[in-house]
């Protein structure tokens, strides 16, 4: 499974996913920081990578239809500090292997994950 980690997340997210055996690249690693969402969305589609982001714009299914993407994982967290994000990631990792991601939108909150197909 391939992931692209948005620039609004710590680089440790990509590192942690790689530790689990996933192909994960960050927007920063590809020098794409500051690119418009529409440009990034095209890259995600081209690379067939699921995005993990804090950017709630990607939860708008009218603009970013899950059918057009390998996967959209939007973190809607009350706290967005590195420690908290990495803590939520640890709870998310086991779900990545057991739930469908392709053409789905995942909304990840502190206490639940909502999945739309």
- In the chain (117 residues long), the average pLDDT of successive 10-residue segments reads 94 97 92 85 92 95 93 96 97 94 96 93
Domain total of the chain = 1
CATH number, position 45: 3.40.50
Exposure string of 7-33, with b = 16+ CB inside 10 Å and e = fewer, is bebbeebbebbeeeebebbbbeeeebe
Domain range for residue 68? 2-116
pLDDT score for 7: 92
27 DSSP assignment = T
What are the strands, taking DSSP E only, across the chain? Answer: 2-5, 23-26, 50-53, 72-75, 105-108, 113-116
pLDDT score for 103: 95
Nearest to 4 by CA among 46, 34, 36: 46
């Amino acid at each position: 499974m391939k992931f692209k980690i948005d620039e609004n997340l710590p680089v440790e997210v990509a590192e942690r996913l790689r530790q689990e055996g996933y192909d994960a690249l960050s927007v920063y690693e590809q020098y794409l920081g500051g690119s418009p969402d529409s440009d990034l969305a095209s890259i995600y589609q081209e690379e067939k990578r699921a995005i993990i982001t804090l950017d709630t714009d990607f939860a708008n299914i009218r603009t970013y239809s899950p059918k057009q993407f390998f996967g959209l994982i939007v973190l809607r967290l009350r706290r967005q500090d590195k420690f908290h994000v990495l803590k939520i990631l640890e709870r998310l990792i086991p779900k990545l292997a057991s739930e469908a991601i392709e053409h789905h939108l995942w909304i990840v909150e502190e206490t639940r994950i909502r999945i739309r197909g």
